Amino acid sequence: MIGIRDDHESAPPPPCRAPELARRIFADGGWLTEALALDHRPEQAAMARAVAAALKEDEPLLFEAGTGVGKSLAYLIPGIIHAVDQSRQLIVSTHTISLQEQLEGSDLPKCRRLFSGKPELSAYAGFRSAVLVGKGNYLCTTRLGHALSERGSLLADAEHDELRRIAAWAETSGTGIRHELKPAPNPEVWDLVSADFSSCSRKHCDCERCFFQRAKARIRSAHIVIVNHALLFALINAGGARAEDTSADARGVLFADDFVVLDEAHTVPEVATDHFGLSLSSYGVERALRHIYNPRTGRGLLRRLGGAEGQQLADDALAAAGQFFASVADALLEQRSIARVREAGVAEPLLEGPLGALERFLGKTADKLEDGRDRDELLEQRQRVKGIQAGVTEWLTLGDEGHVYWAERTGRKQTIVSLRGAPLDIAPELRRHLFGAGTSVICTSATLAMGGQITPFATRVGAEEARAEIVRSPFDYPRNMRVYVASDVPLPSAQEARLALDVLADYVEFCVARVGGGTLVLFTSYSDMRAIAATLAPRFLDAKRPFLMQGDGLSRTELAREMRARGNAVLFGTDSFWTGVDVPGEALAQVIITRLPFDPPTHPITEARCDRIRGEGGNPFNELTLPDALIKFRQGVGRLIRTASDRGLITILDARVLAKSYGRLFAESLPNPEFTVISRENRERAFRPFAGPRGGTS
């Protein structure tokens, strides 16, 4: 994919009008308040000016904007102006689906209304936007047609029915994106028709009918492209803009000459670490090999093209994969679900020979064919086999000394064995691929700073030279937020674990009963969450309080939607529920934090980073564990007040805020740092919810 500027264009770009127009749009009494009847927010105006200046100079910017600043419009409006004026693409990346939906369904229409409502801005009203999702999420109508004609006879009845269901859906779908098909398609059948193969290309597909080729055309001509962090870093890792333009002066992150905004940027280090590492699973390897040839069903690429020899080689590779992953599990995962690998050769290289033989056969077979769909697919599968082979070799040999390697059991039933690797320091990768891409990269979030300084985040992502700014939330937290800290919950320890759970359950039940609106209860441990849910869920239901819990089948987005609809639900969540849950109003009148969100130091990445910091004479707790926990804590607290009229309670059930020296850092990071200490002795009189419809009972 390429940017929207023509390659042959040689005229100098027009002047950058974003700074001038941003001042007029976001001024007190300016065009934004005129056209959209929005309140003037000085913090939003400051952010818009900073973004426009960074775009003009093609410089990076780190900008913390507290909740309620209106940061989406502060970067979208100058970003769209810059994209249209300069014939460049703005890439906006988010971490959560809910923010993507907000951008697409609310913020971009506001931008269009603003531009349409002011004659001076009418040139921008026709901006084009598109959402980019992974190639494998699109249906390819060409591959669908081939599956129906060539492979239908080999499908089981249920699978053939599924193929016909997909075909019927394709007749009415506007996008051909998998998540719009309900119920979700069978993964093996979807593999037969998805666009994630080289046979889905402009060379082989009707660009008017193929959903992916149509999406590519929309992306190619869009001024603004919305993407998520996971896909952004997967595409960057695959080459990004440099895969399209290899010239020495090329610039851009995803597309030639683009510029980028990363919203919810506090998640960037974690997501980037995941995607610049190694990830191979027994499920993924076996699925890839079965696509080449599945001896159980007789389906696969080599059914027609491989003959007996190729089919046997694929069968051998599948058998070797089963033996190899079983040997890894036996060696490392008998007693635990995750294990760091410290020495090379923890398992025999059982896959090396079978994968090598299969890879050579695929190449030899492709060489015998004329250019066309079959040859392209054979060569693509050959590259996939080579990639699997290289990944297994890297993992077995601990191939990159700057990475940590481990094995883990994954999947709902913990039956999948995954080989993982990740860089200890993500800054060099981000410096090279993101902040060193010769274009403006803007990171924004409500939580980038620690102790009022963005420097730790900047160092972690390799943006030490970037300009950094902070604007506070305009919300009246002292008036609308009350904070309680329990002093008598036992501190975390193995000896007090059972007593602590009993006390936590007692506090959660007490607090929920006294707040009439919804309550979000945030945990740091799945086992603690499930144990307390087993005790309290029946009591909530008896009290006519809807009970929702992460892991019960609904996604985070669906659970938040359900909470908004119910009005007085109790939602238990952990890990990802500390960020990105947006439930304004009475439906979320209280956030209970059961424990300060310290990541366990036992995960291989955390353990290896702590080892490195310790080896360099540093303090792992102060330099890694505490900063991460403070950002996650701020995110969790930030779930409560989402609009200027919201009000409610933050209840912290971790006495370390009071008992430990670092506790003051958590207290100081609260939007309202004034708190009331409660205990089971005084809570009946000291715990005071807001009276009225937004705060519950009193």
Residue 110, SS3? helix
Residue range(s) of every CATH 1.20.120 domain in the chain: 277-421
Cα–Cα dist 539/442, whole Å: 47
Superfamily covering domain 18-128+222-273+426-471: P-loop containing nucleotide triphosphate hydrolases (3.40.50.300)
Sheet holding 481-486, edge to edge: 547-549, 570-574, 519-523, 590-593, 648-652, 481-486, 676-678
Cβ atoms 573, 594 nearer than 8 A = no
Domain 277-421 has CATH 3.30.2310: no
Residues in CB range of 336: below 8 A, 6 or more apart: none
Residue 315, SS3? helix
Cα–Cα dist 645/168, whole Å: 47
Q: How big is the chain, counted in residues?
A: 698
What phi and psi, each to the nearest 5 degrees, are found at residue 440?
-70, 130
Query: Could you read off the pLDDT of 37-93 as tens digits, one per residue?
Result: 899 999 999 999 999 999 999 999 999 999 999 999 999 999 999 999 999 999 999
Give the per-residue SS3 of 181-226: CCCCCCHHHHHHHECCCCCCCCCCCCCCCCHHHHHHHHHHHCCEEE
How much is the pLDDT for 192? 85
Cα–Cα dist 586/646, whole Å: 7
Residue range(s) of every CATH 3.40.50.300 domain in the chain: 18-128+222-273+426-471, 477-686
Residue 547: name the closest of 563, 571, 530, 564 by CA. 571
Q: What angle do CA 279, 280, 283 make, to 5 degrees?
A: 130
Q: What's domain 477-686's architecture? A: 3-Layer(aba) Sandwich (3.40)
Angle between helices 42-57 and 18-26 (to 10 degrees): 170
Cβ atoms 71, 65 nearer than 8 A = yes
Quick count: other Cβ atoms within 10 Å of Cβ 184? 10
Angle between helices 282-292 and 373-397 (to 10 degrees): 150
Cα–Cα dist 547/566, whole Å: 10
Kindly state the tokens that stand for 457: 């985040």
Residue ranges of the chain with per-residue pLDDT less than 70:
1-13, 150-155, 243-249, 692-698
3-state helix, strand, coil in the chain (%, to 5): 50, 15, 35
How much is the pLDDT for 564? 94
Give the per-residue SS3 of 18-78: HHHHHHHHHCCCCHHHHHHCCCCCHHHHHHHHHHHHHHHHCCCEEEEECCCCCHHHHHHHH
Cα–Cα dist 310/306, whole Å: 4
